[in-house]
Chain A
Amino acid sequence: MRFRSALGVAVAVLLVAAPGATAQASTLTIVHSEQVSLGESTLTASFTDWPVRAGRSLDFTFEPTGGIEGRTGTVRAIAPSGEPTALGIVGLDGEADMELQRHPLARHAWGLDVVALPEEGLWRFEFTVHGPDGTSTGTLPIAAGPMPGPSPAVSWVVGMAPWAVVLLVLARRWLKVRRSAVLAWSG
């Protein structure tokens, strides 16, 4: 009986969860685009959130006129402090010059998926694109506004407070029982 009800619950959970788990993620919703001059040509940079705010992630797509077919390139993101910064999964190897690759949800264009610009201020994205008409470069300035939400200090203090309470309770109990533990080999 118990086994049957457990099986029933398991099947119900599967029925509810399966459509979600087998569905593809939704497509991107572009809310803003900018034109970057790239030598003689242009590159369209699109954003899923605008204006960009520091610490809030969004998706970027980059599409040169004539498409990405037969072209390769890199993008270097320069933070307001002047430091080149590797961003997101694409920048996971730590290389400042991030290899441009297709966006997982917009595979006709290059892109950076769910990436946050960690610093507030004026960022510069420097593109280098190699194509049939040679190598061209272009720069896209992006202003990142102030970080949304409460300040990081407040978030960390509030978020970690329950752990501090746990630690205090454990420490108190520990001090009480510690002395009664037998520490020899034959305890």
Chain B
Amino acid sequence: MVPKRQVVGAWLLLTGFGSLWLGVAWDGQWHVDVGPDTFFTAPHLMFYFGSALIGLTSLAVVLPSRGAAAGPGVRVLGFRAPVAFLVAGLGAAGHLLYGAIDLWWHTIYGFDILESTPSHLSLQLAMQVQAIAVVMAFAALRHTTSGKWGLAAAGAFGVAAGSIMLDGDVFGVSLTVLGGSAVAAWTLCAIAGVTRSAWWVAALGLLFVAVHAATFFFPPLATGLYSEGIGQPLRDNALGVPLVALAMPLVFPLIAVVGAVSVVFARRRDVSPPVVMAALGAVIGLFVVVSQYLFDEVGTSPLLAALVITAFGAIAGRFGWQSAALMRRLTPREA
């Protein structure tokens, strides 16, 4: 049995991440459509609340975890910390710490949020670490149906966050698309590996649609209401289009269906999972490149981008399965 504290904790992590993700999307929308920024804007409070909830939940789970009753864990300073909550806590602490560094950075360089800075990149990475931690927390609950729904939801948020994790181009290859597709491949293959089921891979696609819809509708709506509420009008050229949602891979639900079919096929033929997942990861990379090429841009060298992103997808898919094999040990039953 997974201790009750860790079950409640997993759902609190998911709630925190939902607040973090939608807060970040709202903040982006606010900057683009309205502009003026202080530390205490509502979108900032929303995403810092999310990170704080993740951090405090992790503390509340890790601190009382001692002895065998806590289940599998890492020994840290006399505690037997469940890995997912250790990772979540470090991710949230990193997020808040880099948030403080970001504030200091802005006092030297001003508040240009479009700049690519070490603190901005680190905030994105810390958010991704938290997403992975939520996936891990639900991987430990994989024996219950609710736990598997939580896993699929955590994966959907992780794929969403991955789509804005990196910024910029290297050798004409868009790092945004590269990071997004690698995270998508890792997540899908990790969920296939944890659940060993085609249905839950399809459920990941289904919940991604829900997260995508929330990211599409919530930020412009909240921005409009908030701007009216505090009497700060929209910009003259406010786009009103949900920019963060547009960066998310529209093609992902289709990818999830392809993933589910591959799982059925490979199980029936007993094809080695690492091979299937590498192939699936490559297909995911290629899908994302092609779809982003149609909608937007993949960088100035599309052919090189296709090659590199497909290769990274393959590696990420293979790595996802291997991660899943280890995450399956997070449940006490198999420890």
In the complex formed, the residue of B with least CB distance to A184 is: B273
B:195-236 near A, CB below 8 Å: 196, 229-233, 235-236
In the complex formed, the residue of B with least CB distance to A115 is: B112
A-contact bits for B185-202, CB 8 A (1 contact / 0 none) = 000000000001000000
A-contact bits for B30-59, CB 8 A (1 contact / 0 none) = 011011111111100100000000000000
Q: Is the CB of B325 within 8 A of A25?
A: no
A-contact bits for B11-42, CB 8 A (1 contact / 0 none) = 00000000000000000000110111111111
Q: Is the CB of B36 within 8 A of A25?
A: yes
Taking a contact as CB atoms closer than 8 A, the residue among A22, A88, A104, A160 that contacts B114 in the complex is A88
What is the CA–CA distance of A24 and B114 in the complex, to the nearest angstrom? 22
Residue among A20, A21, A178 with most chain B CB within 10 A? A21
Main secondary structure of the interface of A (DSSP, over half): loop
Q: Which of B103-111, B157-165, B176-184, B253-261 contacts A (4 or more CB under 8 A)?
A: B103-111
What is the CA–CA distance of A56 and B302 in the complex, to the nearest angstrom? 33
How many residues of chain B are within 8 Å of chain A by beta carbon? 48
Q: Is the CB of A149 within 8 A of B110?
A: no
* Given A24-B230, A89-B32, A182-B325: A114 touches B111 (CB 8 Å cut-off): yes
Residue among A56, A101, A114 with most chain B CB within 10 A? A114
Q: Is the CB of A25 within 8 A of B38?
A: yes
B-contact bits for A80-115, CB 8 A (1 contact / 0 none) = 000000001110100000010110110100000111
B321: chain A residues within 8 A (beta carbon): 183
Q: Which of B118-126, B139-147, B167-175, B308-316 contacts A (4 or more CB under 8 A)?
A: B118-126
B:250-274 near A, CB below 8 Å: 266-267, 270, 272-274
* Given A160-B118, A177-B326: A57 touches B110 (CB 8 Å cut-off): yes
Q: Is the CB of B326 within 8 A of A181?
A: yes
A178: chain B residues within 8 A (beta carbon): 322, 326
In the assembled complex, the CB of B19 is this many whole angstroms from the nearest CB of chain A, namely 13
A:160-184 near B, CB below 8 Å: 160, 162-163, 177-178, 181-184
* Given A89-B31, A159-B118: A183 touches B231 (CB 8 Å cut-off): no
What is the CA–CA distance of A116 and B230 in the complex, to the nearest angstrom? 27
What is the CA–CA distance of A155 and B118 in the complex, to the nearest angstrom? 7
How many residues of chain A are within 8 Å of chain B by beta carbon? 44
Q: Is the CB of B109 within 8 A of A57?
A: yes
B113: chain A residues within 8 A (beta carbon): 114
Taking a contact as CB atoms closer than 8 A, the residue among B34, B35, B41, B112 that contacts A21 in the complex is B41
Q: Is the CB of B232 within 8 A of A187?
A: no
B-contact bits for A9-38, CB 8 A (1 contact / 0 none) = 000000001001111111000000000000
Q: Is the CB of A101 within 8 A of B236?
A: yes
A24: chain B residues within 8 A (beta carbon): 36, 230-232
Q: Is the CB of B235 within 8 A of A101?
A: yes
What is the CA–CA distance of A151 and B41 in the complex, to the nearest angstrom? 31
Q: Is the CB of B230 within 8 A of A23?
A: yes
User: A126 at the A/B interface (Cβ < 8 Å)?
Assistant: no
Q: Is the CB of A116 within 8 A of B110?
A: yes
What is the CA–CA distance of A49 and B106 in the complex, to the nearest angstrom? 14
User: B101 at the A/B interface (Cβ < 8 Å)?
Assistant: yes
B:74-116 near A, CB below 8 Å: 94, 101, 108-115
Q: Is the CB of B31 within 8 A of A17?
A: no
What is the CA–CA distance of A2 and B109 in the complex, to the nearest angstrom? 44
B121: chain A residues within 8 A (beta carbon): 159-160
What is the CA–CA distance of A162 and B114 in the complex, to the nearest angstrom? 23
B-contact bits for A120-153, CB 8 A (1 contact / 0 none) = 0000000000000000000000000000110000
Q: Is the CB of A163 within 8 A of B125?
A: yes
What is the CA–CA distance of A156 and B101 in the complex, to the nearest angstrom? 13
* Given A159-B118, A159-B122: A185 touches B270 (CB 8 Å cut-off): yes
In the assembled complex, the CB of B10 is this many whole angstroms from the nearest CB of chain A, namely 18
In the assembled complex, the CB of A163 is this many whole angstroms from the nearest CB of chain B, namely 6
What is the CA–CA distance of A177 and B329 in the complex, to the nearest angstrom? 11
Q: Is the CB of A159 within 8 A of B101?
A: yes
In the complex formed, the residue of A with least CB distance to B122 is: A159
A17-B40, A21-B40, A160-B118 given; name 4 further pairs at CB < 8 Å: A49-B110, A102-B236, A114-B111, A183-B322
CB-defined A-B contacts under 8 Å, sample of 12: A21-B42, A22-B230, A23-B40, A24-B230, A25-B36, A25-B38, A88-B114, A105-B35, A149-B109, A181-B325, A181-B326, A187-B325
Please provide the 6 A-B residue pairs with the shortest distance between their CB atoms, ordered closest to farther: A159-B118, A20-B40, A57-B110, A25-B36, A57-B112, A101-B236
